[in-house]
Amino acid sequence: MKSQSCLGEFDLIEKLFAPLAAKMPGAYGLKDDAAVLNIPATHDLVVTADALVEGVHFLRDDPPYAIAKKALRVNLSDLAAKGATPHSYLLMLALPDWVDDSWLQGFVSGLEADQENFGISLIGGDTTRTPGPLMIAITAHGIVPSGRVLRRGGARAGDIVFVTGTIGDAGAGLAVLRGEGIGLRKEKRERLIARYRLPEPRVALGPLLIGHATAALDVSDGLLADLAHIADVSGVRLVVEAERVPLSIPGRAFWGSKVAAIAKAASAGDDYEIAFTAPASSRRALAELSQTHELSIREIGRVEEGAGVTFLDDEGRFFAPDRLGFTHF
C-alpha cells in the first residue's frame, strides 16, 4: 500500500496509526490480529458503521484533517442518536495512488484531535490499495446503560417531533463548493462550507435524551427522509411544519424562506443533527437541556396515527416536496 507514500503498510501502521491506539490496552498497539473490548456489565455495546467515498461524501480538495474528522464524526453522530457514549473504533482505508505521506499525516492529525475531543480511541482496522476513489470506512463502538438504547421504533401518537441545531447548512455548503451561492457574503459561504466539511455530532446531548426520547436517529440523508424511517419503524405518521424547521442565517440566505426552499433544505442531508420524538411532558426538561448545552432543540411537528411524513406549509396545507432526501442507489 505504498501509493505515492514512502511508508510501507506496516511502517504506516506503526508510525502513524499505532499512536492513536495508545490509550486502549485491548488494542495491543495494533500489533495483533484483533482487539479486545472490556465493556462494563451494566452497559450494552452499540456498534455502527459508515463508509465515505471520494466524490460522494467528500471532495478530493477537502483538507485531509477535515476528511478524517468527518469520517469519524458521522459515526459519532449515530452513537449520539442512540444515547451512547463513544468508546472505540475500527478504521478501514482504501488508498489510491495520489495519497502521499503528507496527506496521510494530515489525515492522522485530524483523527488525533477528534479522539481527544470526543474521548474515543482507535483499536484496529485495515489498509489496502485501490485503483478507484479514496474510501474510508469506520466502525464505531459506544456504550449505553443496559436496555436503554434509543431506537427508531417507539414514537407514539401524541408525541412531539424535535430536532437539534439547524438544518440544510451542509447541503448548502456542498452546493457552494460546487459553484453555487456566489451572491452570498464570504463569511456566510465559509460558514456553510464548514458545516459540510465538519459536522458537529451531538455526543454530549445524546445520552441525556434517554428517558425523554421515544424514538431517535441522526439526520444524515435529509431530515424528511430520516423522519420517514421513524414513521415506518414506529408505525405512525410524523407531521412536520415547514415554518418550524430551523435554518441558520447563512442557510436561510442560501435556500430562501418559501416552503419549497425549506423543503429542499430539509431534504439536502449531511446535517448530522439528532431528530427525535418525545412526549409533551418532556418539553420543559428538553428546554433546560437546550439552555444548558447552548444548543437549539426545536419543536418542528407532531406524531399522529397513520403512516409516512406529512409536510405542511405556513398555512397548514399539505406540501409535496420534490424528494425526501438523498438516496445511495
* Residue 173, domain CATH: 3.90.650.10
CB contact at 8 A, 96 and 22: no
Whether 128 and 176 map to the same domain: the answer is no
Does a structural domain hold residue 18?
yes
Indicate whether 136 and 217 sit together in one domain: no
Same domain assignment for residues 39 and 136? yes
What local confidence, expressed as pLDDT, does residue 306 receive? 97
Mean pLDDT (the chain) is: 94
* Grid cell locating 14: 506503526
Residues 192, 283, single domain; the answer is yes
Is there a single domain that holds both residue 140 and residue 167? no
Residue 324 located in a structural domain: no
Task: Give the model confidence (pLDDT) of 272-302 as tens digits.
Answer: 999 999 999 999 999 999 999 999 999 999 9
152 within a domain of the structure (yes/no)? no
Q: Are residues 24 and 89 in the same domain?
A: yes
CATH number at residue 46: 3.30.1330.10
Same domain, yes or no: 56 and 196: no
Same domain, 281 and 223: yes
State the pLDDT confidence band at 5, using cuts at 50, 70 and 90.
Answer: low
pLDDT tens, position by position, 96-131: 999 999 999 999 999 999 999 999 999 999 999 999
What does pTM read for this prediction?
0.93
pLDDT in tens, 155-181: 999 999 999 999 999 999 999 999 999
Residue 322 belongs to some domain of the structure: no
Same-domain status, 166 and 302: yes
**Is residue 326 a part of any domain in this protein?**
no
| C-alpha span between 251 and 39 (Å, rounded) | 41
173 shares its domain with 240: yes
Residue 4 has pLDDT above 90, yes or no: no
Q: Each residue of 178-237: pLDDT tens digit? A: 999 999 999 999 999 999 999 999 999 999 999 999 999 999 999 999 999 999 999 999
In this prediction, residue 324 carries a pLDDT of 83
Query: In the prediction, which pLDDT does 2 show?
Result: 39
The full 3-state SS of the chain, as one line of letters, equals CCCCCCCCHHHHHHHHHHHHHCCCHHHHHHCCCCCCCCCCCCEEEEEEEEEEEECCCECCCCCHHHHHHHHHHHHHHHHHHCCCEEEEEEEEEEECCCCCHHHHHHHHHHHHHHHHHHCCEEEEEEEEECCCCCEEEEEEEEEEECCCCCCCCCCCCCCEEEEECCCCHHHHHHHHHCCCCCCCCHHHHHHHHHHHHCCCCCCCCHHHHCCCCCEEEECCCCHHHHHHHHHHHHCCEEEEEHHHCCCCHHHHHHHCCCHHHHHHHCCCCCCCCEEEEECHHHHHHHHHHHHHCCCCEEEEEEEECCCEEEEECCCCCECCCCCCCCCCC
Answer yes or no: do 171 and 140 share one domain.
Answer: no
* Number of domains into which the chain is organized: 2
Domain containing 86 equals 9-145
64 and 97 in a single domain? The answer is yes
